[in-house]
Amino acid sequence: MAKVGSRFKKIFEEAQQHPAYWMEDLRLQFLEGISAIMESQGITQKELADRMGVSEAYISRVFNDNVEKNFTLNTLVELSKAMNAEIKIIVTPKKAKGSDSLYQQE
């Protein structure tokens, strides 16, 4: 069992070296925040789509698909505006080796 764990750890560490890993992590964190606001306000994906002037299918793709080309900074801003939410980006020094986040500091 230790071999499987160490192989997974190595694969995970290698994945962390690619920008796509960090982009997906940021995308997921952002969408979790938008989802939490939607839930607290009782807003559906259909209502969000109406607010943005886009189709419900588009909103569904943004939330459910790993489609890098559909999730741009413009998408981030438009979703935030539609939910009357604020975007905050914090850049901090990287934690010690083995950290699982580039942008969090203890």
pLDDT digits (tens, 9 = 90+) for 9-36: 888 788 778 888 888 888 889 999 999 9
In a domain, 15, yes or no: yes
CATH of the domain at 49: 1.10.260.40
In a domain, 65, yes or no: yes
Task: State the burial class of residue 79 (Cβ atoms within 10 Å of its Cβ: 0-12, 13-18, 19+).
Answer: buried
Question: Hey, what are 40's tokens?
Answer: 């607290």
* Percent of the chain whose predicted confidence (pLDDT) is above 70: 81
pLDDT of residue 85: 95
66-70, long-range: CB < 8 A, 24+ apart: 66/24, 68/20, 68/23, 68/24
In a domain, 70, yes or no: yes
Angle between helices 73-82 and 45-52 (to 10 degrees): 110
Count structural domains, the chain.
Answer: 1
Helix (H, G, I), strand (E, B) or coil at 1: coil
In a domain, 52, yes or no: yes
pLDDT exceeds 80 at position 101 = no
Domain limits for position 24: 2-82
**Who has greater pLDDT, 4 or 40?**
40
In a domain, 18, yes or no: yes
In a domain, 100, yes or no: no
Residue type, position 85, single letter? A
Report the alpha-carbon distance of residue 50 to residue 83 in Å, rounded.
11
In a domain, 47, yes or no: yes
In a domain, 56, yes or no: yes
Mean pLDDT of the chain: 83
